Amino acid sequence: MQKEKKKKIVRRIRINADKCNGCRACELICSAYHAVPRYSSNNPARSRIRVVRDPLADIFIPVYAGDYAVAECAGRDKYIIDGKEYDECAFCRVSCPSREEFKEPDSGLPLKCDMCEGEPEPLCVKWCLVGALVLEEREEAVEDTAVPEEMEELEIGLEALADRYGLGKIKDIVARMSKKD
Amino acid sequence: MEIDLTRGSIERVETDQRDTELYLGGLGTNAKILWDRVPPEVDPFSPDNLLIFSAGLLCGTPATGSTRTIVSTISPQTKLMAFSMMGGFFAPELKYAGYDKVILRGKSPDLVYLWIHNDKVEIRDASHLRGKGAVETEGLIKKELNQPKAQVASIGLAGENRVFFASIEQGRSSASRGGIGAVMGDKGVKAIAVRGTRDVHLARPAEFMGLCDEVLEYIKFRNENPIPGVMPILAGLGSPQEMAIHDEKWHTENFMWGNSRVRRKDFWTEEVANQWTETMDKARIRLLSCYNCPMTCGATISMPGHPTYMMKCFSKLTYTMAAFSDLDFGLRIAQRATEYGVDGFSTPQVMAFGLELYENGILTDDDMAGMPADNEERFFWLLDRIVRREGIGDILADGTYWAAQRIGRGADAYAHNNIKKHEQLPLKLSMLNPIYFLMYATGEKMNITQIEGQFPQAPFPKREQREEFVKDWIQVPDERFKQYFLDWELRGENSIPYYPTVEMCCDIVDWQERMHYIDDALGMCAGLSSFPLKPPYHIHNYPKFISAGAGIEMDEAKLSQAARRYRTLVRAINIRRGMRRKDDRPPKNHWKKRFPELEQKLLDAYYAFKGWNNDAIPTATTLRELNLDFVAEDFFKRGILTDDEDASSKAVLAEQQK
Ligand code: SF4
Ligand code: SF4
């Protein structure tokens, strides 16, 4: 792929966990936005953001889905912050085999936050009226790998499938499917 | 989904589309099921009584604030239909699991809990949870199932022991009124845990999301622009004053203390304000919201020496005021009460009532053997006795009305703050307010705050203020309501009690009630709809939400008619259980200055307006008009209505004039 320096708006979401009230509106709207057709359904289990919530321990952490990992990590740390104990997983953005987070509940395929590409503002930010999620935009010179968003999603999905079933199998199926057409 | 606890069977029943169209969902279809399947002879603690958990029609959709679970059964306290609701996270989770309702019938021989995980439904042993607190139970079940995301509705000791005002607790909310926790305990169900990962679909997504955007915009606007000239609780949306606002001058000086007896007009001094602010600041960890709602009406509270808990609604002050104590005490005892699972309105009243009987020699040292001398300790002691049904606690556990009957010796004069045998907010006022008179008398929700809203509680002093108020009053169902308000004065001819006129009062109360009934079917929180002035949801956008969300073609007239239909059905259920005009009355001492003639006129007119006869029974014509022919037939069969409706109402009138 061609690599060139390009000016690009980089979006970043500032998460202020202190402001989160645990309503999970962000989960709901994210899943609705990514439904096909758009908004036709919602299901927080499909969301690309999740709120780790344990009200009695005062734990409220919104986390965005990041990369996909084939294997879970070998060991996990515990963090004590302000007297509250967090499992490392609470902050982790990875779609990994050890938990149901950031996976399609039916297929198990990984999900990744796409910053609601195409929308003026990420939907989760828009729906978080208490301001726990705030969008920051900066212009940055970046190496443009020019992978369109859908392609990237497809790639992640395929990679996950290949991991599960083996690349050979996937190739076979694709070959079979293309014959049917 | 139907669960027969006696047989241990689980059945999935398709939701009846036609009933959904007629009664919407939530409360509406609950009422239909109770009418069809719980005949009036059935005792609240009979296996034949049903306990229905229902998600409102819009729960699980992106409609902001649509979170309510409507729990319906026959109340052990009133013997009428119980009318309790809770916010939180339970109803949406139930929807994501693929269900509209959970209907419990029969009685389990052993204590059990239900585990609903999408298609998988299990009845599980709960013997190890016996006696556990409601919040504690929630944590234990989540751990046992290894399901931190499950939502759990549970009862505490009070429910297990069938305390008549036991609640069902769930996360930061509870269904408290009417003693439904007692019915759950009687059925042998400690908790229901639910987890759902299914899709909830919208009929017309783009349109629906457009409506949601408008609501969110409106909430933002209202938050930035509180309504001027009214107290904080009415100026915005939700009920943020419970946890976020420190200034409690209004509640502490206007509500009654003790057993709803004493008004303390100069209570709120600078010293109290400082002390209470400090208490609250120390105790409150975080403000919380229900599912998909930005309003932060609840909070996590942590008092030294007590486990952290979540506080909801007005229990912030109910215990404090019943005990003539301070906020520190209120927050401490509310923690224990939440674990026990009791109603935060009834419980403090019942305890204050017990102490008042004791102070007046009706209850003796024998009755109160072992009671500590310290005032606050007494409340803790009474609470423990009540939820265990030990000694005097066993009697008080039935609520003030039934306790007074059992105690005798004139105790009933002290059970002075009930409507239909149910404890009310401790409010005693000076002059009759005709709008509130109608709401108190005819409301079936046993809780005045769940009927009021929409129309200002009092006139604004200046005409300019009123003109300003009506300018963007888009929520009115009809322009005439603006005129009612514009002409309403503090003094003179157009003032209370003769203005608003009888006809206007009927109209206003009907609007207020209609909005609450719509919310209760849709599962919408009253805090964003029927309770505040100028809310984001109203009669003009609701039909669009229903059409675009549930795919049921709806307009304002059809929606109003549906609300009228199940509102009438609720009345019919209660009529069949013996309720009549004589029961439609506020507490005797609610207002110092009463107007008996006007009150009778108000009732006559309101019944006529509702299409009920003079004994508060819906007429056959009304019933047929509302597609409730089956109710009319039942009424005829039972002799509740006779062929000649006029004759029957005449007989009632004659009866009254005797
Ligand atoms: S929408 Fe905001 S407040 Fe609500 S859970 Fe998400 S981050 Fe927290
Ligand atoms: S930015 Fe968009 S895709 Fe990412 S979590 Fe928020 S709503 Fe989902």
Q: What is the pLDDT of residues B510-533, one digit of tens each?
A: 999 999 999 999 999 999 999 999
- What confidence tens digit (pLDDT) does each residue in B133-183 have? 999 999 999 999 999 999 999 999 999 999 999 999 998 899 999 999 999
- What confidence tens digit (pLDDT) does each residue in B241-284 have? 667 778 889 899 999 999 999 999 999 999 999 999 999 999 99
> What per-residue confidence (pLDDT) applies to B201?
95
Looking at every residue in chain A, the average pLDDT score rounds to 86
Looking at every residue in chain B, the average pLDDT score rounds to 93
> What per-residue confidence (pLDDT) applies to B647?
47
Cβ atoms within 10 Å, residue B293: 25
Number of H helices, E strands in chain B: 26, 20
Instruction: Cite the beta strand spans of B159-289 per DSSP E.
Output: 168-170, 173-175, 189-195, 200-201, 284-288
Residue A146 pLDDT grade (very low, low, confident, very high; cuts 50, 70, 90): low
> What per-residue confidence (pLDDT) applies to B650?
47
> What per-residue confidence (pLDDT) applies to A152?
72
Q: Read off the tokens for B557.
A: 């007239």
On whether any CB of chain B is under 8 Å from the CB of A130, the answer is yes
Q: How far is A147 from chain B (nearest CA, A)?
A: 29
* Contact criterion met (CB below 8 Å) for B103 and B32: no
Q: How far is CA A82 from CA A59, A87, B278, in A?
A: 11, 14, 21
DSSP A121: S
Q: Read off the tokens for A26.
A: 């962000």
B504 or A118, which is more confident: B504
Residue B239 pLDDT grade (very low, low, confident, very high; cuts 50, 70, 90): confident
> What per-residue confidence (pLDDT) applies to A76?
87
Q: φ and ψ at A95, to 5 degrees?
A: -85, 105
Residue with the smallest CA separation from ligand 1 atom 8 is A20
Helix (H) or strand (E) holding B418: strand B418-419
* Contact criterion met (CB below 8 Å) for B616 and B575: yes
Residue B657 pLDDT grade (very low, low, confident, very high; cuts 50, 70, 90): very low
| Least confident residue range of A4-8, B140-144, B343-347, B544-548 | A4-8
Q: Which of B110, B23, B35 is nearest to B74 (CA)?
A: B35
Task: Tell me what percent of the residues of chain B surpass a pLDDT of 90.
Answer: 88
> What per-residue confidence (pLDDT) applies to A100?
86
On whether any CB of chain B is under 8 Å from the CB of A61, the answer is no
Q: Which residues of B49-66 are buried (b: 16+ CB within 10 A; e: fewer)?
A: bbbbbbbbbbbbbbbbbb
Residue A173 pLDDT grade (very low, low, confident, very high; cuts 50, 70, 90): confident
Beta bridge partners of B122: B115
Ligand 2 centroid vs A13 CA: distance in angstroms? 10
**What gap in Å lies between CA B92 and CA B571, rounded to an integer?**
28
Q: Read off the tokens for B340.
A: 């026990």
Q: Predicted ipTM? A: 0.91
- Check the CA dihedral B330-B333-B339-B341 and report its sign: negative
- What confidence tens digit (pLDDT) does each residue in B82-108 have? 989 999 999 999 999 999 999 999 999
- What confidence tens digit (pLDDT) does each residue in A14-48 have? 999 999 999 999 999 999 999 999 999 999 999 99
> What per-residue confidence (pLDDT) applies to B658?
42
| For the CA of A123, the nearest atom of ligand 2 | 7
Whole-model pTM: value is 0.93
Ligand 2 centroid vs A48 CA: distance in angstroms? 6
* Contact criterion met (CB below 8 Å) for B147 and B195: yes
Cβ atoms within 10 Å, residue B229: 15
- pLDDT of residue B649 exceeding 60: no
Bridging pattern class, strands B173-175 and A41-42: unpaired
Percent of residues in chain A assigned helix, strand, coil, to nearest 5: 30, 30, 40
User: A38 to chain B: which residues are within 8 Å by CB?
Assistant: 205-206
Task: Please indicate whether, in this complex, the C-beta atoms of A32 and B62 are within 8 angstroms of each other.
Answer: yes
Q: Read off the tokens for B23.
A: 């009664």
- Our answer on whether the CB atom of A64 is closer than 6 Å to any ligand 2 atom is yes
A26 or A157, which is more confident: A26
